[in-house]
Chains A and B, each alone.
Chain A
Amino acid sequence: MTALRLPDDQPPSPARTVAPRIGARAVCEALVREGATTIFGYPGGTVLPIYDVLREFPLRHILVRHEQGGAHAADGFSRATGGVGVAIATSGPGAINLVTGLATAMMDSVPMVAITGNVPRALLGKDAFQETDIVGIALPVTKYATVVMDPDEVPLAMAEAFEIARSGRPGPVLLDFPKDVLQIETSAPHPEPHELRLPGLLRPVRGDVPEADELAELIARAERPLILAGHGVQIADATELLRQVAERSEVPVAHTLLGIGNMDETHRLSAGYAGMHGWMHVNKAIQQCDLLIGIGCRYDDRITGKTSTFAPRATIVHVDVDRSEIGKNVRTDLGIVADAGDLLAALLRRLPQSEPRTAWLEQIAEWRVVSEARSWHGSGAWREGRLSADYVVDRIGEATNHAATLVSDVGQNQMWAARYFGFRKPFHHLSSGGLGTMGYAVPAAMGAALGAPERETWAVVGDGGFQMTMQELATLVQDQIPVRIAVLNNHRLGMIRQWQEIIYDENYHSAELLGPDLVRLCEAYGIPAWRATKPDEVDGVIAEARKAPGPALIDFHLDEAQNVYPMMLPGKGLSDMVEGGAE
C-alpha cells in the first residue's frame, strides 16, 4: 500500500557519497547472507528505506499486485526449491494482507520469512497512519513473530528468523521493523551460528533412532503393512530413503495430499493418494492393513475421516519431528519423535530384505483395478461429449512428461490434479493442503516458476480460485514469468456445488459463479490464451501454451455437474465412502 503522507518521515537522503550502513542495509545484507535471491514484495511508506537501498544488493524483487500474492509466491518459491521464501509488505493493510499466506505456510510447515515495516517507534501504539499490531495478528499463524526495536538487533533478528523458519518442523516467521529502525545506522555485525539466542527452539536430535528397533520388529511380524508418507518426508529430503525402505521391506506406500511426490507413482510399491477424495484401493488398504506406519504426516481429518473407525485392524505407528502431532488425532501404538530421514535411515540399517508380500500386494492391485475403472474417464468425455476434468489433468501430465511443477488451487481442481497428473518426483506438487486457501495456485506458481526455472510450471485452478488472485496476471506479464495456467472452468464453485448436490439435497446456493471471458481478459493483459470445450481440442491447446515464452492460459470449459469421486462425507470414515461410478 503506497502512502506518501507519513508522520515523522525522514527527509530524502542527499546525493549519496558515503552510504551509511542503516538498518535497511543490514536487512538486505542478511537476506543475501541467508541465500535469498528472489524476494516478493509491495512497497509502502514504512518499508521505503528498504526499497531505497534494494538496488545495491543481488536480490531480484518481484513487484506483486497484492501482498497475499507475495506471501503465496514466497511459499511457492520455498516449496519448489526447499529454500526459504521471502515476502515484504508495508505496515497496516500491507502487513495484514500477508496473513492468509502466513497461515497457509504455517499449516503446511513451509519455511518463509516475512518482513513488514511499521510506524516509527515513537508512534507505536498511537494509532498512527497505517499502524497495526501485525505481530499480535500474526502470532497464531506463524512459527514466530516479533518486532525488532533496536537497529543493533537487526542482524541477529534476521539470522534467528531464518534459523527458526527452517529448523525442525519449518514454518513462517514474521519480523516487524518500525521505520526508524530501518533508517538508523548500526554497526552490529552479522552473527555466527553459535551466537544465535534460541534456547527455546526445538531441534530434533539427529542421528540414529533407537526406536527403529521396535518398528523393524513390527514390520517383520506384519502381514499387511502399509506406510502412509506425508509432507515431512519431502521436508526431510528423504524420498530416496523412503523408496529404499519400501523395497527392502516390501511395504507399499500410500501418501497424503502433500506427500504426493514422495514416490514415483508408477513404482510397483506406490499405492497412491489416500483420504477424503483419495483412491478407494488406498483407503481400503488403510482399513485392512495390520500395521500402519505414518511418517511425516499429521493423520489429519482429510485422511482419517471418523477417527474411531480409522485403520481398525492396524497397529498404528506415528513418526514425526513434532512431538505435539503424536497422539493428537488418532490412537497411537508407537510414537517416535524423529526426523523422517533419520528414522528411514535407521530402519534401513535394521531391516533385512523381505520376501515379497505377494498376497497383500495382489489384493491392493485387485482393488486398484476396480477403483480406477470407477473413476477414470479415459475417453476424455465426461457426458454428452463434454470435457472431463480428469482427462485435462491427465493430458497436462502426459504432455509435460510428468516433470512439470504442478501447483493446484483448492477444491475439485485440487483433487483432480492430485489424482490424475501422475507425479514422479518430490517438490513438483504444490498445494494448500492444510489451510485450503483458494487463490493459492496462481501466485504460488509464480514463486515456484522463479525458484525452479529449469522445469515447466503449471497452475491448475478453478474459476473461483482464479478470480480470487487473478490480479497477479500483471506480475506474470511484467516479469515474464512462464506460468501456464489451466483454468478448470465449470462456471461454478465446484466443490460447493458438489456438497450442495450430495449433502444439502441439491439446494444450490451461491455455487453459480459469473466470471469474465478469460481469453479476452488475457488479451487485455497481453497473455496468450486459448479455450477448449471438447476432448479433441485438449492436446492442441496444451501444446500451444507450452510454446509461449512467458505466461499462458487455457480456459477449459467443463460440465458443471462433474463431481470428484470417491468422496468421504463429513462425519463418515474411510470404509464409508460415496463412489460415483463411471457415469
Chain B
Amino acid sequence: MMATAPRRQTLPAGEPDAEHRRHVVSALVVDRPGTLNRVSGLLRARSFNIESLTVGTTHEPGKSRMTIAIRGDDGHLRQVLAQLERVIDVLEVHDLTTVPHVELELALVELEPPDGANGEARLRAALDAAGGQLITPADGSWRARLTATPTEIDRALEALRPLGLRRLVRAGAVAMTTTAQTTSTEIGDPRE
C-alpha cells in the first residue's frame, strides 16, 4: 500500500442521540498481534460491554474481519466507531445496523437425553426452529449445533431450556452486508 495514498474519513457529522439498541459492527483490520487489544481496549475505555466479538481471516491475506455485536446509544457508538476508525491497524469500520445485512451465529448445545418419544419430538422441533442439527446422538450424549440469527438462537434456547440444557457454547455473531460492497467507512447517518 502506498504510504501517500490518502484515506478520507467519511463518517457524517451528527448529533448524539438517545436511541439505545443493538448494533452489529464490521471492522476490517490488519492481522497482527495487538489489533484485538486495541479494538477491545477502545470499547472498554468508553464502558461499552461487548455482546460478542468474532475475528477471522478474510479472502485477502494479512487482513482479518471482526464482527462486533454491541449495545449502545446511536450517537455514542457512532463517535466510538469514528475513534475506532483512526486506530492504525483498523482499515474499515461499518455499522451494519442501518444497512441490509445477513447475520448468523453458531451455537453448540448439550442436552439431557429426551424422556421417551414425545420428549424427543419436542426436542427435535425446538432444534428445527433454529436450524439445529443433532451431532452425535449415537454415543448416548445429545449434542446439537444451531446455526441461525442470534435472536432465533435465543428463542431456540428458551424452548430447549425446559427440556434440559446441560451446556451451551456460542460463537458470537458474524455478519455481512447484502448490498454492493463498499470500501469506505460507513457508520450510518442519523439524519437519514
Does A202 interact with chain B (Cβ within 8 Å)?
Answer: yes
Does B61 interact with chain A (Cβ within 8 Å)?
Answer: no
Does A335 interact with chain B (Cβ within 8 Å)?
Answer: yes
Report the interface size class on chain B. Answer: 35 or more
Does B30 interact with chain A (Cβ within 8 Å)?
Answer: yes
Q: Chain B interface secondary structure, helix, strand, loop or mixed? A: loop
Whether A163 contacts B3 by the Cβ 8 Å rule is yes
Whether A139 contacts B7 by the Cβ 8 Å rule is no
Does A12 interact with chain B (Cβ within 8 Å)?
Answer: no
A195 and B4 CA atoms in complex are apart in Å by: 10
Does A203 interact with chain B (Cβ within 8 Å)?
Answer: yes
Which of A135, A164, A324, A334 gathers most chain B CB within 10 Å? Answer: A324
With a cutoff of 8 Å between Cβ atoms, the chain A residues found around residue B8 in the complex are 204-205, 337
With a cutoff of 8 Å between Cβ atoms, the chain A residues found around residue B82 in the complex are 323-324, 326
Does B45 interact with chain A (Cβ within 8 Å)?
Answer: yes
- Please give me the residue from chain B that is nearest to A207 by CB atom: B6
Whether B6 contacts A327 by the Cβ 8 Å rule is no
With a cutoff of 8 Å between Cβ atoms, the chain A residues found around residue B78 in the complex are 327
Does B164 interact with chain A (Cβ within 8 Å)?
Answer: no
Whether B11 contacts A323 by the Cβ 8 Å rule is yes
Q: Interface 1/0s, chain A 127-147, versus B by CB < 8 A?
A: 000000001100110011010
Whether B88 contacts A198 by the Cβ 8 Å rule is yes
Whether A198 contacts B85 by the Cβ 8 Å rule is no
- A328/B79 contact (C-beta < 8 A), A143-B88, A199-B91 known: yes
Report the interface size class on chain A. Answer: 35 or more
Does B154 interact with chain A (Cβ within 8 Å)?
Answer: no
Whether A202 contacts B86 by the Cβ 8 Å rule is yes
Which candidate, B12-20, B122-130, B138-146, is the interface stretch facing chain A?
Answer: B12-20
- A202/B38 contact (C-beta < 8 A), A327-B79, A332-B13 known: no
Whether B2 contacts A327 by the Cβ 8 Å rule is no
- For window 196-217 of A, CB contacts with B under 8 Å fall at 196-206
- A203/B88 contact (C-beta < 8 A), A136-B37, A140-B41, A327-B79 known: no
Identify which of A135, A139, A200, A326 contacts B13 (C-beta below 8 A): A326
With a cutoff of 8 Å between Cβ atoms, the chain B residues found around residue A202 in the complex are 7, 9, 85-86
- Please give me the residue from chain B that is nearest to A328 by CB atom: B79
Min distance, Cβ A461 to any Cβ of chain B, angstroms = 30
Q: Which residues of B contact A (CB under 8 A)?
A: 1-16, 29-30, 34, 37-38, 41-42, 45, 75, 78-79, 82-83, 85-91
8 closest A-B pairs by beta carbon, nearest first, are A335-B13, A324-B82, A323-B9, A196-B3, A199-B1, A324-B83, A205-B8, A326-B13
What are 6 contact pairs spanning A and B, CB under 8 A?
A: A139-B34, A143-B88, A203-B6, A323-B82, A324-B83, A332-B15
Q: Which residues of A contact B (CB under 8 A)?
A: 135-136, 139-140, 143-144, 146, 163-164, 169, 193-206, 318, 322-324, 326-328, 331-332, 334-335, 337
